[in-house]
Structure formats: structure tokens, C-alpha cells
Chain A
């Protein structure tokens, strides 16, 4: 207690000509000055009003909306940018799940492309999942007499016939799969 008193005395001895006091300048004499400060950042003027009245509860501060606090949290902008970019990218992680739709089926399925090492394996997996027969298109045999054809959407958003490119290239560009009825898929085949 005594220590606090002596500290206050120290403050009282400061140059009186400048009329400094513990309260914030402008709190007593010139209320109009405060309104001219409205251009200042909100946090400044809020702090001003609380500093003059030490008993005021900290919680009466309503902190600015998070996005508006410049420079907080103290993370450099190149770090922020990298992480934000990361958030909008699809989950690549372990497992390469793509949606699979089949024409006429009420629900879509999801398939981990990493589970397969070749087109044959993929076909087998799909056939088991959808209980259908899918044929890989070939120039000679068409759809091999099957009812369905497999297509995929690539990175550019185009729908492509499955089977043209090497397996690795396929799985790195495949965004989703669609099992079409082979009669509809014939159009795709005709362009090849």
C-alpha cells in the first residue's frame, strides 16, 4: 500500500505546467476533442475511456471483430497465405477418394483410387461396388458387350473416357468417376 502511495506521489511531482495526470488527457476539460478522435482506431478511444476509470471491468471491452484486428495474431502474412491456400485445396492426404456416380442409381459412392494399381483392378472394384458389368472401351470391341462405360472428370473439368492414359497419370488427374450407360457413352467413343 505504501509503495503504491509513493508511486502516485512520483506522478504528482511531474511538471505541473503540462497538467499531466493519471487520467487520460481530454477526459475532464475538452469533451469535444474526444469526438474529433472518432477518426482514430476504435481500440484507442475505447482504451482511453477505460484507463481513466481503473475499476472498470476488463470485460466491458468488446474486442473488435477478429478479422478487423490488424496484425493479430502476430503471424507473418506469407504464413497466413500459405495456410489459407491449404484450406481451399481438397484433402489430398493419405487416400485419394473420388465420388463415383452411376446413372440411375439414387446414391453416389466414394472410392479410394490408391487402393488400385491398374485399370483392371479399378474395374473389378467398381463392378463389385455397383453390381454391374463395366467394359473398357477398345477400338475393336467397343464396350465389350457390356451395359456400362466408365468416364471420369479431369482437372480441367472435362469428361474423359477411362483407359486412354497411363494409370499414374489417370489417378493424378481424376476428380470423379461416372458410370454411364453404354448407349450414351457411344458418343464419347465415336469421337476417338
Chain B
């Protein structure tokens, strides 16, 4: 006879298991574990808000304290998803306000949330602590006023990269005098000025404030005042980092930074005046994160900073750093884990900026802990990629963007197949990969063969035929997210791998060669998938099976077809107006 442990004991054991994946595994061990686990699950992560409905989530997990939802496809970041596509938080907030009175945390990414919803959040959850709106839109500073006024226990308000309708800078004044719990505030995305006195008051009232990210409109002259009020800050995002030539501003700033003994992360740095850079040199030795990706300062200035930051783990920077700056990084920052280099000129290689593949090669050589790379450049070679792969087999995220589509190896004029092939072959734990440059079907053969841990793959302007897509879908066992644009991939590969799509979170294909007919077949064969055809231009004739679709988004779901689709989306759903 098998005795099982009492519920309370199991619950206690489960409380140590925090990762979603592990929780999911625990829940399918047996029926009793499923029951126990669902009652004590406190955190839910939903990677696609349309994969499940609020009702289903609430029914299964009645005692949740923290919900994280993601909405639009990743390519929405680059304007490939038309307006009105969806990702509305409204129904989630409505239902949670009724069923989760003890909800503490809401994290949304790429979703649309209204002021009404923000107000509802502020009044429904008495213990509300954390609101993170990452790349969201649909709300204004009025919604923020409601949050400020009503969330008495708010700890974190993070508006990371959201588009906020900036109606007034006075929303900050809505935090009551009794409000002392703030630990983290990120308002860097806001366009206009906030009331500085309100900001100062807030900072002064918040002894636990650890993260403060200001927006560009906060003048440098005010920064020292804030820092003096909050010397305990761990992460700071400055506003504009210039002020004319004001020696009083400089010395006050320098003194204020000296007082910040806990500072580990710096960001902001819009409109940098290099003469003000030395003001923060005193904190450099402790810095683990530095985001200079808005600072158009030149390589010598960047290098000076880098040489002072031996403990740097994460660096975001513009290509102004050039190869010389990256060489310095490779020498000075042996703890570097993540590097992101953004382009300063979107289209043409700036003659004044010498950033080539060599810089990246240096960093992979010199930084043994480097795991994550995002690199924009104008040229690449297979030999450089092979060197990178051999230098850094511990890479988990490799995103390379050679700015001109279909650029070949600049030395041999060959495709970059073998270069990327080396990356997937050597970096056995690679979970995220973005390809660029001239690529044939061969690179996808390498990827299908070697990239067994790959979770997310981004492809653009690559491949020759359906064989390419087939290699990926049939070979990449761990693949969950696949996004493709402008590739000659079509019906054959898609229909040969329909079952694969049910094991993935989502598939995006735009400007490829998929036909309406194939979408119909896919829909019929796989009822657990939502097959959404986006026809922005209105040129689609759903009766013509040979008609190519502009954009296709396929995702698995237990919630059935969604009810909030705009008029330009076509599905197989019998009930929807747009039936294919």
C-alpha cells in the first residue's frame, strides 16, 4: 500500500518549486498532486494571452497572487503587426478583479491596456504591489494617477518602453503623503516633463527606493538633488545628460554620485555631454549594468568609461563603441555576460564609425562568461562566426543583425551558412537565435540537425525553398517560437509539419509563400490551433486557394478562436464574419 504525504507537507514542498516549468511538471504527476499544486500555485505565466482564457486560468488556479501575460507577436516591436490586432488586457483585468481579490502583481508585455483597466486594478486589489507594463499601449497618465492615488502598498511601477499618452506631468502628485512603500519606479518612456517637486517629494518619502529610472525631460541639474535624497539607489536611469557648461551642476552631481554606495546599474544618458561623464566615475567600479544605448558619445569616451568598470556584466551600447571600444571591453570586463550593440545609422554604414565583426570576435575571445549577444553590424564573415562559435560555446542567445538584407560573407562572397552552422554546432545550449545575411537552405539543415535546445528562432530574407523551413520544423525539438519574414517558405513545409505547430507557442510568417488553401487545410487538421490570416491591404480573396497570404500567425490554444479580431484578420472559424 502506498502512503502519500499529507497535503500540508506536499504544499510546503511545492512552495520551494517556483519555476513555471517545474510547477507544470509537478502538476501532472498524479491527480492528487494536480489538485494540491493548483491550490497553492501563486504565480502564473501566460506566454500568449490568447492561448488560454481568464476563466480557464481562474478555474484552475484560484489562489494566484501574480500574473504575467504577453500579447502581441514579437514582430509587433518592428511595426509588422497592424493597429488593432489585439492583445487587450481588459477581459483579464475584469475577471481577475472579480476572482482574485488578493492579487499582488500584474506584468503585461505587448498588450493594450486602458485607463479604465488601470483604475479597476487600483481599486480591486487591496494588496496590490507590482505593476509592470512592458511595451504596452492604450493608456494615459490619467490611468497612472489612479494607480498612484489608490495603490497604498505599491512597490513597483515599471512602464518600460510603453507608449503612454502624456496628458499631464501631475500624475506623480497623486501619491498620497502616507505613501512610503515604493521600491522601483521606471518612467523613462514618458515624453513630457513630470512635476519635479512631486518627483522630489516621492523620492524623499521612499526610503526603500532601489530603482529609479527618470525620463529624458528631467534636467541634469535636478539629478543631484534626487540622488542626495536617495543614496541607497541600486539602479538609476538619468534624464538628459547635458546642461551647458555649468561647473556648479558638475560638482553637485559628482558629489551626489560619490554618496551612492549601492549603485550597480546605470542607464538613461540621453543627449550626453561628454564633459559630464566623469561625474559618475566614482561608481564605475561597482557597476554591473550599463546602458549607454542612447548616448551618441564617441569611442574614446566610451572606452574611458569601460576601463573603469571591471565588474560589468551587462552592457548596452551604440555602434559608436567601434572595434577599439570592444577590444577594451574584452580586456577590462571579464565578468561580461550580455552585450547589446545597437546601430546608430539605420541604413548606411557611417564612415566615421568603425564597427566590424572584429569587435565581436574580440569580446567573445576575452569574456569567458559571455552568454547573450545582440549585435548590429554591416559586415560579417564565416571565419569570424566560426571563431565566435569556438570561442564561446556557452552562448545561449545569439542575435546577429547584418543591416543590409542578404549580405554575403564580405571576404569570400559566400553565404553565411557555415558560419551560423558553427554557431549551432558548438553552442549546444543555444536557446535563442536570430539570423541575417545571405543564407541558403543549408543553414537550416545545420540548425535542424544541431540546435536541439533552440527555443526561439528569427529568420529574415533567408533560404531558397520549403526545405529550409522543413529542416527547422522537423529538427528543432525544443522550438517554441518561430518568426519568419520575407523568406520563400510555403505550403509544403508547413503542411508536412502540422503536428509540430501544436508543440510550439506560436509561428509568425509574413511576406512568405503560404497560400490560403494551405491555411484552410492547417485549420481543418489542427483544431487546437488558431490560424489567423492578416490581410491588411484587403486584397485577399478567401475563395481563391492559391492566393498568397500577407501575414500568418498560428498559435496553439485551449480557448478556441478569439472574439476580438479586427476586420482584417481571417480565420476558419464558422462563427466569425471573416471566414476562409
- Which A residues are closer than 8 A to B by beta carbons? 7, 10-11, 14-15, 18, 20-22, 24-26, 30, 33, 36-37, 39-41, 43-45, 47-48, 50-51, 54, 58, 61, 63, 66-67, 69-80, 82-83, 86, 89, 92-94, 96, 114, 168, 171-172
Q: Are B342 and A40 in contact (CB under 8 A)?
A: no
B238-246, B322-330, B424-432 - interface stretch = B238-246
Contact of B491 among A25, A69, A74 (CB under 8 A): A25
Q: Are A73 and B550 in contact (CB under 8 A)?
A: no
A75 cross-chain contacts in B, Cβ below 8 A:
78, 342-343, 346, 376
Known contacts A74-B77, A172-B244; A37/B548 CB under 8 A: yes
Type the 1/0 row for B275-316, where 1 means its CB is closer than 8 Å to any CB of A.
Answer: 100000000000000000110101000000000000000000
Q: Are A20 and B495 in contact (CB under 8 A)?
A: yes
Interface of B (DSSP majority class) = loop
- Which B residues are closer than 8 A to A by beta carbons? 75, 77-80, 161, 189, 242, 244-246, 270-271, 273-275, 293-294, 296, 298, 318, 342-347, 376, 401, 403-406, 434, 438, 458, 460-461, 464-467, 470, 485-488, 490-492, 495-496, 511-513, 515, 517-518, 521, 537, 539, 541, 544-548, 550
Q: Are B401 and A43 in contact (CB under 8 A)?
A: no
Q: How far is the CA of A36 from the CA of B406 in the complex (A)?
A: 28
B438 cross-chain contacts in A, Cβ below 8 A:
58
Known contacts A58-B406, A72-B405; A79/B293 CB under 8 A: yes
Among all A-B residue pairs, the 10 with the closest Cβ atoms? A172-B244, A71-B78, A39-B539, A51-B488, A25-B546, A26-B546, A71-B80, A47-B488, A66-B347, A25-B515
Q: How far is the CA of A79 from the CA of B295 in the complex (A)?
A: 11
A15 cross-chain contacts in B, Cβ below 8 A:
495, 521
Q: How far is the CA of A43 from the CA of B271 in the complex (A)?
A: 38
Q: Are B548 and A22 in contact (CB under 8 A)?
A: no
Q: How far is the CA of A89 from the CA of B318 in the complex (A)?
A: 18
| 27 A-B pairs (CB sep. < 8 Å) | A11-B466, A33-B546, A36-B547, A40-B537, A40-B550, A41-B550, A44-B511, A44-B513, A47-B487, A47-B511, A48-B513, A51-B465, A51-B488, A51-B513, A54-B464, A58-B438, A74-B434, A75-B78, A75-B346, A78-B189, A80-B346, A83-B318, A83-B344, A83-B346, A86-B271, A92-B271, A171-B244
Q: Are B492 and A20 in contact (CB under 8 A)?
A: yes
Contact of A47 among B347, B403, B491, B512 (CB under 8 A): B512
CB distance from B355 to the nearest CB of A (A): 14
Q: Are B496 and A10 in contact (CB under 8 A)?
A: yes
B244 cross-chain contacts in A, Cβ below 8 A:
168, 171-172
Q: Are A7 and B347 in contact (CB under 8 A)?
A: no
Known contacts A37-B548, A51-B488, A58-B406; A44/B512 CB under 8 A: yes
Q: Among A37, A48, A50, A71, which residue has the most Cβ atoms of chain B within 10 A?
A: A71
A7 cross-chain contacts in B, Cβ below 8 A:
467, 470
Nearest A-chain residue to B471, judged by Cβ: A7
CB distance from B277 to the nearest CB of A (A): 10
CB distance from A55 to the nearest CB of B (A): 9
A171 cross-chain contacts in B, Cβ below 8 A:
244-245
